[in-house]
């Protein structure tokens, strides 16, 4: 299981200014607390996924902004544990929790069963994201696409690929000229999708 020191290393905040470094340490502690005990459908500890998203942001998309890396680390925090919103806000501020809410499906925030119409509501919500939040979601898709072959649920794989072609890939293409990280996200996501399509995943 990924530990707080490992999360700290992946955030790479040893060179951050002191206030950002302290904020990063808080985020790492919160992440290990919130994701603890949660497991992905592949059977792996949940925290491994957001840590990999941070790695994608840093190493492949060129993100150096501490706040974006923290956002990447906590991007699923409200999805798996919406009751922790107050905890996150008390340590990292309501502005960050509002950004997390904008990136979280409504049925998760409302802690209710997913209804048939929730997929359309969610995809419309994604289309309204700002460039930075969209970048986090594209990094999330990159990691999920790479991990898709480990999912034991073929229906989940089909749903994932359908949402990728109908929503995420068009958004990535539309946003690629906004800035360098979004262009990189477009290129990486398309390359990963082509590779998996050729492999017949």
**Residue owning tokens 């950004």:** 99
> Considering the entire predicted model, what is its pTM?
0.91
Percent above pLDDT 70 for the chain = 95
The pLDDT score that the predictor gives to residue 2 is 56
The pLDDT score that the predictor gives to residue 196 is 77
Q: What is the mean pLDDT of residues 71-87?
A: 95
**d(Cα 179, Cα 177) in Å, to the nearest integer?**
6
CA 20 from chain centre, in angstroms, equals: 20
Please name the residue ranges forming H helices in the chain: 4-11, 18-35, 48-59, 66-73, 77-80, 85-92, 94-102, 106-109, 118-127, 131-147, 154-163, 169-175, 180-199
The pLDDT score that the predictor gives to residue 201 is 53
Per-residue pLDDT tens digits for 31-55: 999 999 999 888 889 999 999 999 9
């Amino acid at each position: 299981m990924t530990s707080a020191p490992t999360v700290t290393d992946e955030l790479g905040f040893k060179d951050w200014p002191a206030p950002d470094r302290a904020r990063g340490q808080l985020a790492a502690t919160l992440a290990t607390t919130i994701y603890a005990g949660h497991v992905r459908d592949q059977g792996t500890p949940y925290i491994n996924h957001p840590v990999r998203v941070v790695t994608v942001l840093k190493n492949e998309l060129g993100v150096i902004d501490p706040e974006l890396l923290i956002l990447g680390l906590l991007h699923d925090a409200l999805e798996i544990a919406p009751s922790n919103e107050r905890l996150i806000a008390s340590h990292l501020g309501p502005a960050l929790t509002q950004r997390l809410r904008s990136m979280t499906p409504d049925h998760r925030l409302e802690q209710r069963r997913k209804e048939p119409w929730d997929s359309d509501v969610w995809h419309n919500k994604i289309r309204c994201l700002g460039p930075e939040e969209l970048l986090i979601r594209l990094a999330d898709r990159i990691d999920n696409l790479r991990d898709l072959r480990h999912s034991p649920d073929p229906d989940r794989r089909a749903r994932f690929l359908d949402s990728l072609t109908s929503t995420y890939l068009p958004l990535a293409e539309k946003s690629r000229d906004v800035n360098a990280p979004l262009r990189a996200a477009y290129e990486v996501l398309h390359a990963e999708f082509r590779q998996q399509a050729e492999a017949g995943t």
